[in-house]
Structure 1
Amino acid sequence: MSTTHQTLGIAINQIETLHLNGVDQRYCVLGEKPENPVLLYLHGGPGDSCLPLVKKYNSALARHFNLVVWDQRGAGLSYYPFTEENHPSIDTYVEDTYQLSRYLLERFHQDKLYLMGHSWGSALGVKFIQVHPELVHHYIDSGQVVNMQAITREQIAFVRSHTSDAKALAFLDSYSEAIAGQDWVKALLKLTKLVVKHGGSLYGRSNMSNLIWPFLTSGRYSIKELLNRQKGSMQSVTYLWHELMDTDFTDIHHFEVPVTFCEGRQDHHVSSAIAHDWYVAIDSPKSWYWFDHSGHFPKWEEPDHFLGCVLQDLSR
């Protein structure tokens, strides 16, 4: 591993590049004191980089942590084109996380870090704490992935209960065939759009425009980089979604690190009800926080409540 910044101090608000697991990847460290603990954020998607959103809604975390916001390989500022012959697997991202974690711990002279995962990033987070618990103080999730097949069934049931549109209902009836066909990405995006339309992603909203605007105004992304973000998101879904659909943590009930769940009560994008059923069965040190006015994005829908829950839990 190598980096364009060799000093041990914090490069506040600066984008840094690390040659990580064979690929240049970019991240930003937000913080005030080098001695603060490291908090590594794993974004969702796959491919849904989110630095402008974290800066807008969660920058207060940087008063307590060296908050590391990483654009994962092929996504956002770390975009490069995947190919049929050369594309990553979920295990590739777990190894990326390991190498980045080791680098950060060495850089900030610490033994362990805090890990936060959202949606796709929560699947990476659970896999990571299973194989490398020795590097993690505590795992915090939101939009926790448990069983993707069950999540899809819940999405369909949610939309069905919120629409009387004949075309939408016909689409839901034929979804299993559509997702197995050649135009499966189109079917997947259509189902997601219907969940969003009926308020199952952002509570009280029928679109995600408020999560798009920060990218246009942050000054972090050039026009080319904004286009690359879109390309990175699409290719990540294309090459990783089928593997993600096989994800099932239902029978895993123990972790070597404490776990905290921050879940939107109105999340039907990645069902918080399924996550809660799983949480009940976990026998490790654990905490659960409901966000009553949130869907899939509690850290951006209720950021003050999110900050309070995280600080309360990690101070124990």
Structure 2
Amino acid sequence: MQKHLNTRPKTNMLIAILCFVFAGLQSSATETDTTQVIEIGGIKQYISISGEAPGKPVLFYLHGGPGTAVSAHKDVVTGELEKYFTVVHWDQRGSGKTLQMNETTAPPTFDQMKKDAEELLNFICNRFTTDKIIVLGNSWGTLPAFHLAQRYPEKIRALIAVSPVVSNLRSQQITLELLQYYFEKQENSKAIQQLSDVNIPDSGAKEMLIQYRWESEYNGEGMSDEQFDQLLHYFQDWEKMWFPLYSELYKNDLERSAGSIKCPVYFIVGKKDLTTYFKITEAYFHKLKAPEKQLFWMEDVGHNIPGIAADKMQKTIIEYIVPLLNLSETIK
């Protein structure tokens, strides 16, 4: 089943791209709004625990990127959810406060990130003395989230996948072809020239940013040369840590690796998402086997839903997904 949600957010392209490099039910917690440093995967890792209602279901938020922790501005991303859930934010290996607490010697690998996520899942269940939690993954974060749902479905009440990365390779290939065709029809020589220099898989951050620039233009948001240069400086620093992991993602395809999930799965997808091409996401949704699944569309929104439409994302979860999970008696 699919639902269409109308939203026309005021977007800020710089914030959007920086937020994504291209997000038993009862808790026994007696404290909220706290932080912890725990040892996961042999290093210190940072989590924050927030919520205005102790004893509510636990929601584990897996941020996007890779490398863009959101705990520092969690009030914007999950502030409304914290009225209904105990929300756990985790600054993943190499990100945010976890990065600050550790000397980084090598870029993280996908296997490391999946193992870290497994340890966090078990820690959260023990910390809150609960059999099941809700996992919310955004963009890159959907990959470890789907891994958890496959490996530990008995511990996950539901998986909420926001802008899921189904197949980075197929998505980027189709989007590049779409953009090249569109700008050729528009006779935009600058776009045609720059896009001709892009190869999929990308060889570096500059190619990634060129494609994102013209995705933004296609969706009605221009990017000046000055803005491009500013973002390129950021991405050149980002790629030193994260490009090896990002390159690994080209090998991942959820249609092959996660054809079935043994827990409820809910997608929240932007109708203008070209970063993880929305039609590939829709096709995967229809093929996915799950005991319960629904797809919620956000009109006039691209990839970075937590960055440009966090209020709409949270409203969708509270008004549509919570009733499906029969949480009415615990969320009041």
TM-score by length of 1: 0.80
Q: Give the CA deviation at 1:8.
A: 5.2
Q: Which residue of 1 aligns with 2:264?
A: 258
Displacement of 1:314 in angstroms is 2.9
CA deviation map 1:70-93 (0-9, x unaligned): 11010122114544xx44211211
Contact 2:61 2:137 in 1 (8 A): yes
Larger RCO: 1 or 2 (CA < 8 Å, sep 6+): 2
1:272 paired residue number: 278
What is the one-letter code of the residue matched to 2:31? I
- Give yes or no for contact 1:48–1:233 (8 Å, CA) kept in 2: no
Contact 1:46 1:236 in 2 (8 A): no
Q: What's the counterpart of residue 313 of structure 1? A: 321
User: 2:157 touches 2:264 (CA, 8 Å); kept in 1?
Assistant: yes
Quick check: 303-312 or 117-126, which moved more?
Answer: 303-312
Q: In the alignment, is residue 244 of structure 1 matched against residue 249 of structure 2?
A: yes
Q: What aligned pairs does 1:209-228 form with structure 2 within 5 A after superposition?
A: none
Match of 2:297 in 1: 290
1:172-211 matches, within 5 Å, as 172-176=195-199, 179-180=202-203, 184-199=204-219, 205-206=221-222
**Cα distance in structure 1, aligned partners of 2:267 and 2:167:** 16
Distance 1:158 1:304, change over 3 A: same
Is the Cα contact below 8 Å between 2:94 and 2:108 reproduced in 1?
A: no
The Cα shift of 1:190 comes to 2.5
* 8 Å contact kept, 2:50–2:88: yes
C-alpha distance in 2 between matches for 1:37 and 1:205: 38
- Are 1:134 and 2:125 matched, yes or no? no
Q: 2 CA distance for matches of 1:59 and 1:313?
A: 17
Which of 137, 162, 166 is the equivalent residue of 2:189?
166
CA contact (8 A) 2:32 2:54 kept: no
Identity %: 23
| Deviation of the 1:300 alpha carbon | 4.1
DSSP-derived class of the 2:93 partner: coil
Equivalence map 1:35-50=2 (5 Å): 35-50=55-70
Counterpart of 2:161 in 1: which secondary structure? strand
- Deviation digits for residues 157-194 of structure 1, max 9, x if unmatched? 343224643243133223228934xxx23222322233
Give the conservation status (yes or no) of the 8 Å contact 1:81–1:232: no
Letter paired with 2:301: S
1:121-159 CA-to-partner distances (Å, cap 9, x unmatched) read 111111221112122110001111111111111331343
The reply on whether 1:23 has 2:43 as its aligned counterpart is yes
The 10-residue stretch of structure 1 (257-266 or 91-100) with the greater mean CA deviation from structure 2: 91-100
User: Does the CA-based 8 Å contact 1:122-1:141 persist in structure 2?
Assistant: yes
Structure 1 residues 177 and 56 mapped into 2: Cα distance closer, same or farther (>3 Å)? Answer: closer
Residue 246 of structure 1 aligns to which amino acid in structure 2?
A: K
Deviation, 1:238, is 2.0
SS at match of 2:166: coil
CA contact (8 A) 2:198 2:210 kept: no
Q: Decide whether aligned partners of structure 1 residues 177 and 35 sit closer, same or farther in structure 2, where only a CA change above 3 A counts.
A: closer
Letter aligned with residue 322 of structure 2: L
Equivalent pair of 2:202/2:208 in contact (CA under 8 Å): yes
CA distance in 2, matches of 1:10, 1:51: 18
Separation in structure 2 between the aligned mates of residue 108 and residue 206 of structure 1, nearest angstrom: 46
Which consecutive residues of structure 1, in runs of 5 or more, have no partner in the other structure?
Answer: 1-6, 208-228
Is the Cα contact below 8 Å between 1:82 and 1:235 reproduced in 2? no
1: CA distance, partners of 2:149 / 2:241: 23
Instruction: Give the alignment's Cα RMSD to 1 decimal.
Output: 2.6
Give the Å deviation of 1:59: 0.4
User: For the residues of structure 1 that align with 2:171 and 2:241, how far apart are their CA atoms?
Assistant: 19
AA paired with 2:286? V
- Alignment partners' CA distance in 1, 2:217 and 2:96: 25
Q: Which moved more, 1:72-81 or 1:263-272?
A: 72-81
**Counterpart Cα distance in 2 of 1:242 and 1:112:** 33
Moved more, 44-53 or 267-276: 44-53
User: Displacement of 1:273 after TM fit?
Assistant: 1.3
Q: 1:144 aligns with which of 164, 168, 177?
A: 164
Contact 1:293 1:302 in 2 (8 A): no
Question: Unpaired segments of 5 or more residues in structure 2?
Answer: 1-27, 224-233, 325-332
Moved more, 285-294 or 124-133: 124-133
Q: Given residue 281 of structure 2, which amino acid in structure 1 is its aligned partner?
A: A
Q: Distance in 1 between matches of 2:96 and 2:202?
A: 26
